[in-house]
Structure 1
Amino acid sequence: MAEIDINSLSEPEMRLKKMQDMRAAGDEPYKYSAERSACIADLLQKYEPLKPEEESAETYQITGRVVAKRGHGKASFGNVLDQSGKLQYYAKVDLLGGPAYHKLLHGVDLGDFIWASGKIFRTQRGELSIKLEKFEILTKALLPLPEKFHGLTDKETRYRQRYLDLIANPEVKDVFQKRSKILRLVRELLDGEGFIEVETPVLQMIPGGAAARPFKTFHNALSMELYLRISLELPLKRLIVGGFEKVYEIGRVFRNEGISYKHNPEYTLLELYQAYTDCEGMLLLTERLISGAVKATINLLPCGEDFTVIS
């Protein structure tokens, strides 16, 4: 069999060959699990007081995506990124051993997930790093990361391929985290005020509660057309009729209309209904929800503690 000319391979082909070589050597390129002892953000916080060339007494295990590599010869550096933060690694051939160091230099590509073990230290230039004693490739990436200098800027691509957006623009994670925090706070506030969270049907015989074009589907067992809901309103109001006094739902609704990066045909909607109150009571509840969400996400009330009443 003719030997493959490595220089003739494209980058995806080169990565595929590395993956196949790992598997042929008995090193599974897509490992099922990995033990880590700390998140990167915790290590950065814990060892912030370290002075240059000081190191931790403990050895730590971290996991993450390799997002940068630099250096050659007998020493090299790189950056590992996990969900909480980024940490530099420092590798030396005499500490890792020749075969492992060669694998790090030539077998690891940007985008690969690795497991790394070592002590935390601060370099002469003042950067906290992990001094590699052991490492493993956990997941071999077969495609390169988005080009670093220009990044991922096309809005359609960013919104359609969120995973690429998260890789190229790490600050986007903050939006996901704030959304999760807001939903948790909304639930805590409403539950604390006696509301009951419910789930109502997504498939409806007659779509209602809003003026929007629905998505149609067909129920084979019942031999009938059904619609994806365009609103949460009517089932929630029926629960009020049935005797519940405070109900809410946070759920997906679907509207078969225009689409762009500013308008999605499916999105999350919050609706709540309360008996024995009027618009003034709902206004006060809305103020508490909004001010609580702002406090939880940015710890700041732009308008001060008191909202200005507007008509």
Structure 2
Amino acid sequence: MTETLDIIIVGAGPIGLACGIAAQNAGLSYLILEKGCLVNSLYNYPLNMTFFSTADRLEIGGLPFPSIHPKPNRSEALEYYRRVADAKHLNINLFEEVSGITSAGELYRVQTNKGTYQAYHVIIAVGFYDIPNLLNVPGEELPKVRHYYFDPHYYYRQKVLVVGANNSSADVALETWRKGAEVTMVIREADLGRIKYWTKPDLQNRIAEGSIKAYFNAKLTAIRETEADILTPEGALTIDNDYVMAMTGYQPNFNFLRKIGVDLSPDFKRYPFYNSETMETNLKNIFLAGVICGGMDTHVWFIENSRVHADQIITTIMARRTALV
């Protein structure tokens, strides 16, 4: 701990980077701390993932995002955000996990696995991709159960059960089927959910022709080494199974927010408290930015609509500094 910074930013995703750029443009000292690699959540997306948005809506810091596709893919995004970090000479410590944030008078002490830092302000810009929503069924602890998906080749000639009805489930089902897997989907609702408009008809057609088997209004009830149990409107079924792909979504690290003292709503959504104009939490000079603001409602905030949080926060900080002069 060698200096007191104006801002510590927790998370080096696109919004954390945007906050760093905004701080830098305002002449504020800052450090971005990231527990994994740069844009760690994007790195862990499936290999062939394509964004729903066009490249211009993923841009930060005024730097153009060139893409040869109408909608950029994962590898293009990783390249773009690396270029942003280098072009802006952003001050980032990677693979340094924040374990605690405590008040020290007008300052905050930020403890990591590598050291301790002091700052007047803290911006929490972490995502929600690290903690999967569990199925809570017997056998979920088996190695065959996957909450993350990367490459379809691995599942060639395997019996794959996909749980879920949204984008991730659709991508897993279609990609693994096209690479030779026998795919069954278990869908809690009566129909498919939020799926990219160019993917949904494809999946609907594969289900209609019987290439992919789908059980609607159904749920997975148990998992064993070579089979799985499903409850459908017609009754219970047991199917042969090699892998269960539980594409049931993810959630923010609520325990971390509670630990540092951020208030959460008492309902299932667990919305963190913040002022929508300043992005300040119930803790003075601790701010939220990006998808973390949505609590369990992870389909509210994206890169596209939360880039503005960076400017809101830095504008607030600068206005307060001006008022003190």
Is the structural similarity TM-score above 0.5? no
The structure richer in helix per residue is 1
Q: What TM-score range do you get, normalising by the shorter chain?
A: under 0.3
- TM-score, normalised to structure 2, is 0.21
Computing the radius of gyration from Cα coordinates, the structure with the larger value is: 1
